[in-house]
Structure 1
Amino acid sequence: MACRWFSLALFCGPLAADAGVESLPVISVLVVLLLVALSYVVKLRATVNKLRKANRAKPKSLLGFYSLHDDISGFPNKFFLQQQLDELLKRAPQQHFSLLLLKISQFDEINELLGHSNSNLVLAQIAYRINEQLKTTDKALTFEFRQQLPVRLCHLGGVSFAVWLDSGDQPHLAEYLADSLEKCVPEPMIVHGCAVDYQLHCGITHYPVHGTQLNELLERAYLALQHHSTLQGHSQVFNAGMLSYSSDKLIMMSELRRAITEGQLALYVQPQVDMRTKEVLAGEVYVRWRHPSRGLMTPSSFLALAEESGVIYPLTQWVLNEAIAMIATLDKAKLVSKIAVNISSKDLLQDELIDSLELLLEKYNVKPQQLMLEIKEGAFAADPDKSISMMRRLHRLGVVLALDDFGTGLSSLAHLRQLPVQHVKVDCSFIGDLHKSDTHTAITNAIIDVARNLELGVIAEGVEELEVEQKLLRMGCNRAQGFLYSRPFELSGFAVWLKQWQERHTKGH
């Protein structure tokens, strides 16, 4: 420190001499130096304080932004929405509003295909597309402006978004907007040469009719969305009836998911017989659930709920695996080795169905022609174009296709000529009273005639009496299944049953 002061004194001495001052007391020099030092310290402190303030302000502003915006898409988040609603509802508590909940489906596949980083970019781009669609919707709550464009979309996290709409006395505006978003937003997106497809589903709740708190409105909007996406064609708007989707049913579906992996399911089979020769042509399988507390449950107890809740596809995959494995077992034993499996409308809408079937057929070394898939008429109601396209792909794969419960619906009459099916199944509701009802006889006869004109095979289900069998034969139907031949029994016993049946009916043929 002494050296520094000494060098400064040597420097200041000549300055004083140049100024015409012959000499300065040492104390004066020290005062001058002290003032210079103090001035320097003051300036340094001011600079440091400015930097500290800037450093404190910068993280605070960033923290404020990220606490109110999603870190993937950059759009306002649920906390931002809650803040805006708190202020809005204080000003207009009696006003009517609508909450639109939007969810991107099939995003898991995008994640698997593109990886986490790329799928985040896709998610951000979809959010941008949704917001672009909202720019002309003045009734939607505007959170902020970016480059003079309104931001009207809230990113709730994951693949869920929300829009708050000033619907007033026109609640149908929400449904109109939801339909528009579902139709216009999901356009294929090209990423690294891959065409990425996705869908958008909406659920709607109205304030204050369906709730006055954001969480309550969101929960009920999720319920409406779930019903809309699983029951195609149903309204996106919440209604009290949806609450009947009770915790008991949700628990049952959770238990069914575990049952698939924990060995609680079993397949039963019912043979399909040539009524003239009594040759067994195939066996149709039915799933049963050995529930730990409810006992043995038939398909009618859980299949419809499984289809609604999205559990049906993994269930179908399990059934297909077991059925194709049995085909291989029967084939090795040189027995009838054709199995029929029912698949649902939801299964037909799964793009990976073909790939999974090919893998199973290859795994068990089974020919596609040994598997019959039965599809109900109602499968074409939700998305006829996609369903028919999938059936054509199944036909090209080589599996046999049958239209189940034929005559109970209307869609197949319009599409029958373009469906690549080999068989139609006459519903048991017509067959059971065939020998007692002229109406049922006329309907069954007409179905058989239509099928024969289209060169399709006919399978009658629900044959329980010999008189019904003989009447069907006179009509020109040769193939049937029902209690007259066998009640459903466990698939594991099919090989033994076939050998016993052959011994009784086919000796000498």
Structure 2
Amino acid sequence: MRRILIAVTVVLVWSAPAMAQQQQDPLGWLVSAVLALLLLWTLWLLRKAKTQLQVSVPMRPDSSDDLHDELSGLPNKARLSQIVKRWDKQQRGKKAALLVCKVQHFDRVNQAIGAQNADLLLVQIAQRLQQRLISEAQACLLDKENKVAHLGGIYFALWLDASEKQHGAEQLAHKLEYQLPQSLLIHGCAIDYQLLSGIACYPEHGEQLNELLDKALLVLQHRQFGHSHHLVYQPELTQYDQDKLSLMAELQQAIDSQQLKLHIQPQLSLTDHKVLAGEVLIRWHHPRRGLMGPDQFLPLAEQMGVIYPLTRWVLERAIQLLAQLQQQQLHCQIAVNLSSKDLLQDELVDTVELLLNKYQVPASLLILELKESALVAEPDLALRTLHHLSQLGVELALDDFGTGFSSLAYLRELPIQQVKVDCSFVFDLHRSDTHSAITGAIIDIAKNLQFTVVAEGIEQQEVEQKLLAMGCSRGQGYLYAKPFALDAFVPWMQQWGYSKASY
């Protein structure tokens, strides 16, 4: 375009005298010359502005730059490693700290606004960290332009001089966690986020970046799951972590070595004491730790991602029991507990369907129990799984009803048929007017939503009578039977049929 304008200008300048002579207009040449000069001056201004723009706009690091993150343009792990190595060489023995920040629950943000917008949010968080750390220039030791490194994804890191301020890294972590996370705007929408931090100290906890990173991330993990409130790495965290890994490795072998045992607790009609169902409960006869209840290893198995194989094993044993009950012409449902991780497994529905078909058991005899918290992590996916299970004909129950936080509108969306009132409300029902009022309100809510109500933890006949008066129709607890071996359930039911008349 520029060459065309220059060519036009030259033509105008050289043709102007001829045009003026032909038109007998002495001013023509002058007008053409002025126009040509104006065009040349405009071209010069455009070229100058373009040059200034190229200088003033900072160039984003090229994707081939191995020392910067491609998304945020911040120094990456490789650059941070250089900084740590240089510190170890030039400042050896002088105290420093690695502070790692994680953007909490970013998977939910990603799902809500999409990957492209989530990347924009990460870039904005990176810029906020940079701006906030300008005032901490004395402490943040990356380079002149950057005070924070982007380790990729949702992780950022700072390298801090800890030689003068003993708790400076912890103070800064608190500032970042509580002062930085204000809502960010993405296409006009306010997006909330949270930061979580973990700190490892040089040289106390390691002298190489990978050593320090592992320990800072371990702090993050323990804080995230509520196992520790310490910001700075503690040696016992590693011991606890190793103990967890060892226990989970042993759990993988426990099924094959028959260390896991299933118990069952009957669920009865409160009006005529007919056995309606049995809840399957797992126990671990550990060779060194002794008998372990579900609370001692199931939350850990869920956290470590090994819960689904265990659930699948329990499901098969439960459905096998249903087949035995049918052979004995004993009509009874069996309930199995599901975890939040189970609901996220794509093959869960297929597994249940295959097992029911394999043992020729009607789906309506199987009850799957889940806690309200199981729906929090991935509510849409969990809800889809529940609908698919409901379409199979499986009965669904919401466990620990009354201790959760869902709205009534959300509860209506769940394809559940039962709710189980938590034993914390039931246990002192006959002694506490407050417990009685709360339990009565919970039962009323469940009945209004057309759910069958099951009370857990019944131990006294007074409690049973109060529950009946409130409209609760089913219950389980020590009043009827403590949990016992699964293999004994069929003979127990046969015996119960003969003895319940004299109950």
TM-score under structure 1 normalisation? 0.63
Structure 2 residue identity aligned to 1:369? S
1:85 maps to which residue?
Answer: 84
Say whether residues 1:433 and 2:451 are aligned partners: no
Q: Which SS does the other structure have where 2:218 is aligned?
A: helix
Q: Which deviations, in whole Å up to 9, do the C-alpha atoms of 1:374-416 show, x marking residues without a partner?
A: 1123323444444333323322232111111111232365632
* Distance (whole Å) between structure 2 residues aligned to residue 171 and residue 478 of structure 1: 53
* Distance (whole Å) between structure 2 residues aligned to residue 235 and residue 396 of structure 1: 44
Q: Which deviations, in whole Å up to 9, do the C-alpha atoms of 1:153-173 show, x marking residues without a partner?
A: 779xxxx99765457985479
Kindly state the Cα deviation for residue 441 of structure 1 after the two structures are TM-superposed.
1.0
Q: Which SS does the other structure have where 2:313 is aligned?
A: helix
Over 3 Å counting, the alpha-carbon distance change for 1:238 and 1:250 in structure 2 is farther
2:99 maps to which residue?
Answer: 98
Kindly state the Cα deviation for residue 447 of structure 1 after the two structures are TM-superposed.
1.1
Gaps of 5+ in 2: 1-63, 68-74, 108-118, 134-139, 144-148, 161-168, 187-194
Q: Which SS does the other structure have where 1:411 is aligned?
A: coil
* Distance (whole Å) between structure 1 residues aligned to residue 433 and residue 81 of structure 2: 65
2:72 maps to which residue?
Answer: none
After TM superposition, the structure 1 stretch with the greater mean CA deviation from structure 2, 383-392 or 372-381, is 383-392
Kindly state the Cα deviation for residue 98 of structure 1 after the two structures are TM-superposed.
3.4
2:307 maps to which residue?
Answer: 312
2:319 maps to which residue?
Answer: 324
Kindly state the Cα deviation for residue 101 of structure 1 after the two structures are TM-superposed.
8.4
2:288 maps to which residue?
Answer: 293
Contact 2:95–2:203 (CA under 8 A) maintained in structure 1: no
Kindly state the Cα deviation for residue 495 of structure 1 after the two structures are TM-superposed.
0.9
Q: Which deviations, in whole Å up to 9, do the C-alpha atoms of 1:231-284 show, x marking residues without a partner?
A: 79x999765484573533433222222112321101101111112122111100
1:247 maps to which residue?
Answer: 242
Q: 2:262 aligns with which of 235, 259, 267?
A: 267
After TM superposition, the structure 1 stretch with the greater mean CA deviation from structure 2, 384-393 or 164-173, is 164-173
Structure 1 residue identity aligned to 2:268? V
* Distance (whole Å) between structure 2 residues aligned to residue 230 and residue 357 of structure 1: 30
Q: 1:344 aligns with which of 328, 339, 349?
A: 339
Q: Which deviations, in whole Å up to 9, do the C-alpha atoms of 1:15-46 show, x marking residues without a partner?
A: xxxxxxxxxxxxxxxxxxxxxxxxxxxxxxxx
- The percent of aligned pairs where both chains have the same amino acid is 47
Say whether residues 1:503 and 2:485 are aligned partners: no
Over 3 Å counting, the alpha-carbon distance change for 1:255 and 1:97 in structure 2 is closer
2:164 maps to which residue?
Answer: none
Kindly state the Cα deviation for residue 135 of structure 1 after the two structures are TM-superposed.
9.2
Trace 1:50-449 onto structure 2 (pairs within 5 A). 82-87=81-86, 90=89, 97-99=98-100, 164-165=157-158, 170-171=172-173, 204-205=198-199, 208=202, 211-213=205-207, 214-224=209-219, 226-227=221-222, 240=234, 242-243=237-238, 245-411=240-406, 413=408, 415-449=410-444
Kindly state the Cα deviation for residue 329 of structure 1 after the two structures are TM-superposed.
1.8
After TM superposition, the structure 1 stretch with the greater mean CA deviation from structure 2, 204-213 or 370-379, is 204-213
Q: Which deviations, in whole Å up to 9, do the C-alpha atoms of 1:57-113 show, x marking residues without a partner?
A: xxxxxxxx9x99xxxxxxx998886445312565676776534689xx99xxxxxxx
1:10 maps to which residue?
Answer: none
Over 3 Å counting, the alpha-carbon distance change for 1:269 and 1:500 in structure 2 is same
Structure 1 residue identity aligned to 2:393? G
Say whether residues 1:472 and 2:473 are aligned partners: no
1:455 maps to which residue?
Answer: 450
Contact 1:141–1:164 (CA under 8 A) maintained in structure 2: no
Q: Which SS does the other structure have where 1:336 is aligned?
A: coil
Structure 2 residue identity aligned to 1:364? Y
* Distance (whole Å) between structure 2 residues aligned to residue 324 and residue 368 of structure 1: 10
Contact 2:198–2:233 (CA under 8 A) maintained in structure 1: no
Structure 1 residue identity aligned to 2:243? D
Contact 1:395–1:420 (CA under 8 A) maintained in structure 2: yes
Q: Which SS does the other structure have where 2:431 is aligned?
A: coil
* Distance (whole Å) between structure 1 residues aligned to residue 122 and residue 411 of structure 2: 42
Q: Which SS does the other structure have where 1:342 is aligned?
A: strand
Over 3 Å counting, the alpha-carbon distance change for 1:500 and 1:204 in structure 2 is same
2:70 maps to which residue?
Answer: none
Structure 2 residue identity aligned to 1:340? A
* Distance (whole Å) between structure 2 residues aligned to residue 452 and residue 99 of structure 1: 49
Aligned-residue CA RMSD (Å): 4.9
Gaps of 5+ in 1: 1-64, 69-75, 107-127, 144-151, 185-200
Kindly state the Cα deviation for residue 332 of structure 1 after the two structures are TM-superposed.
2.2
* Distance (whole Å) between structure 2 residues aligned to residue 336 and residue 422 of structure 1: 19
* Distance (whole Å) between structure 2 residues aligned to residue 236 and residue 351 of structure 1: 36
Structure 1 residue identity aligned to 2:455? A
2:54 maps to which residue?
Answer: none
Kindly state the Cα deviation for residue 330 of structure 1 after the two structures are TM-superposed.
1.4
Over 3 Å counting, the alpha-carbon distance change for 1:409 and 1:239 in structure 2 is farther
Q: Which deviations, in whole Å up to 9, do the C-alpha atoms of 1:355-389 show, x marking residues without a partner?
A: 32223223222222111111123323444444333
After TM superposition, the structure 1 stretch with the greater mean CA deviation from structure 2, 486-495 or 238-247, is 238-247
Structure 1 residue identity aligned to 2:431? K
Over 3 Å counting, the alpha-carbon distance change for 1:228 and 1:366 in structure 2 is farther
Contact 2:334–2:366 (CA under 8 A) maintained in structure 1: yes
* Distance (whole Å) between structure 2 residues aligned to residue 457 and residue 209 of structure 1: 60
After TM superposition, the structure 1 stretch with the greater mean CA deviation from structure 2, 264-273 or 395-404, is 395-404
* Distance (whole Å) between structure 2 residues aligned to residue 469 and residue 131 of structure 1: 55
Q: Which SS does the other structure have where 2:256 is aligned?
A: helix
TM-score under structure 2 normalisation? 0.64
Over 3 Å counting, the alpha-carbon distance change for 1:315 and 1:236 in structure 2 is farther
Contact 2:99–2:197 (CA under 8 A) maintained in structure 1: no
Structure 2 residue identity aligned to 1:437? S
Q: Which SS does the other structure have where 1:286 is aligned?
A: strand
